């Protein structure tokens, strides 16, 4: 009987432990808040699958709570919020979140720095940009996790553009550096919250966007309001990143750091083919936007102006000069390599 009572008591204790164990694990779960630059419709493609994957694998050990554009703080305040620890991680370009680094100007669409989306991971992983970004962000208490490419940058407008002269006076929602460059051609950069772009297009506050390619225009609904898509682009791919508060990153065990980096890297890969396929499919099969082009000889003026712009940026700091030199060396190498790296 003594043995039987001991067995029953042990079993009861084990049962109680089994019942309470999930609660204990839940209370000890690491929770992070990540805000993206993207609104919910776009975020469903460019970030949510990666966060869902991480959460499914990490389970009770760690969970990332995802927030979309401006839900916790305005996009322009993302860096400050992450640096303070209000937000643990961010998906954005440097330019939009106004990070106080010498590489901020290269975030988003740096004019003609890339021609294809694969140029971005090549530049960061094989041409030294990862190391430069890591140095810059570590100096301000932020972990640069990884960089990846998004879509090319085109004008998507409410009226056709077939010549450079028609850019004059166009009020356009775009990235800070892109706006700074395009201003010389008469473009008027307009800043509004991302979620307000649709209304701004409808009311005529802006005439279009130079923010994305055709895939994103369809995905977020801008193609329902705009009428034309200019096939000439000012960059082959947007440069975006994942960042984290350095203290919070260092608190994570190594395996969770590795898991997060792997899930974010998978996100970069997903966008590679999602955008690449979407750009071609919607140009050829889409029915919402009419395609127009500026003649190559005329558009060459914009490309030439970009190289002058590069040199101007290089004079702003030693770090900027290093990055510009990488862009110059890389693009020269691609030109020499020829097909399929460069066709002209």
What would the pLDDT profile of 290-300 be if each residue is shown by its tens digit? 999 999 999 99
Structure tokens at 248: 């919070």
| Cα gap 130→134, rounded to integer Å | 6
pLDDT the model gives residue 320: 98
CB contact at 8 A, 153 and 182: no
Q: Which residues lie closer than 8 Å to 192 by C-beta, 6 or more apart? A: 173, 200, 205, 206
CB contact at 8 A, 187 and 170: yes
Q: How would you list the strands of the sheet with 290-292, edge to edge?
A: 188-190, 171-174, 208-212, 153-157, 228-235, 290-292
Report which of residues 95 and 3 the model is more confident about: 95
Residue 177 sits at φ, ψ, to 5 deg, of: -70, -40
pLDDT the model gives residue 27: 74
Q: What is the pLDDT of residues 159-176, one digit of tens each?
A: 999 999 999 999 999 999
CB contact at 8 A, 252 and 30: yes
Q: Domain locations in the chain?
A: 2-99+106-151+238-278, 153-237+286-337
Is pLDDT at 9 greater than 70 in this prediction?
no
Class of domain 153-237+286-337: alpha beta
Q: Which fold has domain 2-99+106-151+238-278?
A: D-Maltodextrin-Binding Protein; domain 2 (3.40.190)
Do 2-99+106-151+238-278 and 153-237+286-337 agree at the fold level? yes
DSSP 128-189: SHHHHHHHHHHTTTEEEEEEEE---EEEEESS---SGGGGTT-EEEE-HHHHHHHGGGT-EE
pLDDT the model gives residue 343: 83
In DSSP terms, 238 is beta-bridged to none
CB contact at 8 A, 210 and 154: yes
Question: 12: pLDDT confidence band, cut at 50, 70 and 90?
Answer: very low
CB contact at 8 A, 57 and 68: no
- Rounded mean pLDDT, 193-217: 95
**CA separation, residue 186 to residues 167, 213, 308 (Å):** 6, 21, 17
pLDDT the model gives residue 26: 59
């Amino acid at each position: 009987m003594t043995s039987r009572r001991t067995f029953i008591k042990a079993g009861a204790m084990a049962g109680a432990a089994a019942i309470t164990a999930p609660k204990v694990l839940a209370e000890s779960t690491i929770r992070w808040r990540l805000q993206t630059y993207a609104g919910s419709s776009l975020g469903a493609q460019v970030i949510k699958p990666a966060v869902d994957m991480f959460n499914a694998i990490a389970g009770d050990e760690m969970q990332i709570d995802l927030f979309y554009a401006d839900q916790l703080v305005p996009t322009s305040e993302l860096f400050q919020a992450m640096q303070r620890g209000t937000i643990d991680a961010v998906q954005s370009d440097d330019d939009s979140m106004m990070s106080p680094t010498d590489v901020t100007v290269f975030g988003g669409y740096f004019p003609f720095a890339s021609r294809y989306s694969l140029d971005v991971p090549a530049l960061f992983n094989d041409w030294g940009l990862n190391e430069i970004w890591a140095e810059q962000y570590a100096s301000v208490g932020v972990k640069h996790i990884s960089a990846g490419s998004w879509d090319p940058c085109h004008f998507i407008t409410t009226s056709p553009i077939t010549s450079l002269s028609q850019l004059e006076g166009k009020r356009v929602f775009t990235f800070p550096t892109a706006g700074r460059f395009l201003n010389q051609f008469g473009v008027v950069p307009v800043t509004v919250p991302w979620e307000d772009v649709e209304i701004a297009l409808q009311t005529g506050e802006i005439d279009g966007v130079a923010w994305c390619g055709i895939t994103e225009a369809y995905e977020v609904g801008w193609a329902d309001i705009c009428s034309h898509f200019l096939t000439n682009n000012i960059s082959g791919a947007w440069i975006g990143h994942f960042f984290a508060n350095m203290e919070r990153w260092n608190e994570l065990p190594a395996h969770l750091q590795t898991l997060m980096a792997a899930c974010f890297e998978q996100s970069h890969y997903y966008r590679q083919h999602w955008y690449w396929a979407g750009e071609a499919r919607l140009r050829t099969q889409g029915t919402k936007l009419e395609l127009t082009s500026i003649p190559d000889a005329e558009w060459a003026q914009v490309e030439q102006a970009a190289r002058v712009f590069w040199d101007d940026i290089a004079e702003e700091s030693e770090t900027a000069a290093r990055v510009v030199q990488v862009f110059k060396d890389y693009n020269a190498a691609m030109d020499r390599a020829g097909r399929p790296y460069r066709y002209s």
